[in-house]
Structure 1
Amino acid sequence: MAKPDILMPYRLLPIAEAELEKRFTVHKLFEADDKDTQLAKISEKIRGVALGFGPFGPDLLEKLPNVEIVAGFGVGYDHIDVPACLGQNVMVTHTPDVLNEEVADTAIGLMIMAIRELGQAEQWVREGKWAERKPYPTTQATVRGRTLGIFGLGRIGKAIAKRAEAFGLDIHYYGRSKQDGVDYTYHASLTELAAACDTLMVVAPGGPATQHAVNAEVLKALGPTGVVINIGRGSVIDETALIAALEDGTIYGAGLDVFEDEPNVPDALLKLPRVTVLPHVGSASQATRDAMALLVADNIKSWFETGKAITPVPEMKK
């Protein structure tokens, strides 16, 4: 029996490539000199797509008339046109759960770095200022006694909240609805959440529903002692409003692992003294990335072996 043909438009981690090659005929489009010509030769044979770091939209979907599944890499899937796939009866999957703990660790670490200015303090040492007997200025903010507002209390949000409890933080949250069995204080709007806390943790996914949800009004509600942490998606924060709020003291500081136009970070953000930036490394340990990549492969294997995916995106469950 012939192996199903799988398209790999972008490079995946070697562990996933090797796993897929055991059971499928894998076409690595990223290796082709002329991708359009190569795709035209194989398009009708392709029954699945193993997606790495890159978009999947209608332009590619329409060239794959027999595709059955698009297996995405990452818990976020705003780079995949899910409505278009739904319209063509194409299953879409992502890789939740396997990265929850890693991202939650990063979120707490970034929060502490931003509030205590640890990245800036390290740079102070590297630049030789400490050796010149210049102590780093005492930070005006502390983690102690803060109220953490979590925007997006899903799997990762709950893992962050559990860690934050150990720091003695009072935890509030906002989402589409109040959750049963959750003891944290719920707020009916994001602005209301911001007004009730001084540390806003953004864990929400990207997409039209959350585009610029953290805007000037929300930042004003957060207030002058407020710190914004974003480990969700860059599109959730209006970066222009954020820069203005930081420059004029509307809020105190920010810790950002994601940005609107990655890998480009606005110079204005980088020049601000109380902004900590990371290059989208929330889940970027080798162990976690390998687990994510294997889940991409496992979703495709499960689809062709059982007709069911392991981790379909929520829209596919309706």
Structure 2
Amino acid sequence: MTATVLVLVETINDYLPILEHQGFHLILAPTPTERAQAIATHGSRIDAVLTRGPLGLYADEIAALPALKIICVIGAGYEHVDLQAASDRGITVTNGAGVNASSVADHAMALLLSLVRDIPRADAAVREGDWPKIMRPSLAGKRLGILGLGAVGMAIAQRAALGFDMSISYHNRQHRAELPYTFCATPTELARSCDFLIVATPGGIGTRHLINKQALDALGPNGFLVNIARASVVVTADLITALEQRRIAGAALDVFDDEPNVPAAFKSLKNVVLTPHVAGLSPEATQGTVELVGKNLVAFFGGKQVLTPVALPAALSTSAVR
């Protein structure tokens, strides 16, 4: 039997032949309208769904897919996938943790450099015929704080320590004693200890609003914030106020609460650098991600263990459908 995969992701079309060559039948539904229509029209024969964290897959959608057996999430985050509904149905969930770590880490460092050295404003000034001589801080030898020391956080730490001679502190769910970095017990303690703070933790309930007014005040008027993780980790209103009042020096953001809608306040501030949630996008990362999805699908439908399972909560229902 050829498994049918509903593809909700909008950025991987060039690499979908990887899955087709493995024998999977694909239904592409990258827009909300196409998504709803595909589920309504083809729901009874969809065996798998390919999504990403912000797009998710919700309980009502899972209920409308009686043949669904596996959900594959691109990237590490799966915050809008209803794990309880999946567990109750006995549906397997996988993610792509670590595959795009290099791309995300590169983008984090690019944002940090652009923000601290004020590259966007310098570029705009030259294009307008101006020649400003603005004194900006150096990155070398500074203190970098990383919130979340998973694959992405580790890749950022290595670039910062080896490339810029930065000292590294971090806050993580677990203290990683094997690493030569300084552990901070709370996000506020981490913010207080650094010049630059990069948010690299997954989204979800467990990390929601870890960076709030208290943490931003601890970062201070000379501190810079970069978020390449999830907007939910930072209290947006607190960040806007801190930027407007110059209680922090600046922020660079690749993620937002209601994408693609970006608060007007961010757009008007001169101490902010913005990108459209592209940190994980590179040909290398995208190809690797789709290849991992293919490996997980082949393993699952071949009766083997998937490579990157997501831990699910205990099922509340005893009537799992497989």
CA pair 5-287 structure 1, distance change in 2 beyond 3 A? same
Q: Equivalents in 1 of 2:205, 2:101: separation in Å?
A: 23
1:13 aligns to 2:12 (yes or no): yes
1:70 aligns to 2:71 (yes or no): yes
Measure how far apart 1:174 and its partner are.
0.4
One of 148, 151, 154 as aligned partner of 1:152: 148
CA pair 119-78 structure 1, distance change in 2 beyond 3 A? same
1:126 aligns to 2:123 (yes or no): no
Q: Determine the structure 2 residue equivalent to 1:193.
A: 190
Q: Determine the structure 1 residue equivalent to 2:110.
A: 109
Q: Equivalents in 2 of 1:64, 1:251: separation in Å?
A: 47
Q: Determine the structure 2 residue equivalent to 1:60.
A: 61
Measure how far apart 1:20 and its partner are.
2.7
Name stretches of at least 5 consecutive residues in structure 1 with no aligned partner: none
| Alignment check: 8 A CA contact 1:16 1:296 kept | no
CA pair 184-314 structure 1, distance change in 2 beyond 3 A? farther
Q: Determine the structure 1 residue equivalent to 2:239.
A: 242
| Alignment check: 8 A CA contact 1:71 1:296 kept | yes
Q: Determine the structure 1 residue equivalent to 2:319.
A: none
Q: Secondary structure at the match of 1:251?
A: coil
Q: Determine the structure 1 residue equivalent to 2:87.
A: 86
Q: Determine the structure 2 residue equivalent to 1:163.
A: 159
1:50 aligns to 2:50 (yes or no): yes
Deviates most, 285-294 or 50-59? 50-59
Measure how far apart 1:12 and its partner are.
6.0
Name stretches of at least 5 consecutive residues in structure 2 with no aligned partner: 315-322
Number of matched residues?
Answer: 311
Kindly report the root-mean-square deviation, in angstroms, between the aligned alpha carbons of the 2 structures.
2.4
Give 2:220's aligned amino acid.
Answer: G
TM-score between the two structures when normalised by the length of structure 2 = 0.88
TM-score between the two structures when normalised by the length of structure 1 = 0.89
Measure how far apart 1:294 and its partner are.
2.5
- Listed one character per residue, the Cα deviations across residues 136-190 of structure 1 (whole Å, up to 9, x for unaligned) are 4222x33133211110011110111011112111110101121131121111111
CA pair 247-26 structure 1, distance change in 2 beyond 3 A? closer
Q: Equivalents in 1 of 2:121, 2:31: separation in Å?
A: 41
Q: Secondary structure at the match of 1:158?
A: helix
| Alignment check: 8 A CA contact 1:230 1:258 kept | yes
CA pair 6-180 structure 1, distance change in 2 beyond 3 A? same
Q: Equivalents in 2 of 1:34, 1:113: separation in Å?
A: 37
Give 1:49's aligned amino acid.
Answer: V
1:233 aligns to 2:234 (yes or no): no
Measure how far apart 1:316 and its partner are.
8.0
| Alignment check: 8 A CA contact 1:6 1:25 kept | yes
Q: Equivalents in 2 of 1:261, 1:101: separation in Å?
A: 26
Deviates most, 234-243 or 46-55? 46-55
Give 1:72's aligned amino acid.
Answer: V
After superposing on structure 2, the runs of 4+ consecutive aligned residues of structure 1 that deviate more than 4 Å are 9-12, 29-38, 314-317
- Listed one character per residue, the Cα deviations across residues 16-64 of structure 1 (whole Å, up to 9, x for unaligned) are 4323333133334569998666544543332222236733111110011
| Alignment check: 8 A CA contact 1:229 1:256 kept | yes
Q: Equivalents in 1 of 2:37, 2:213: separation in Å?
A: 47
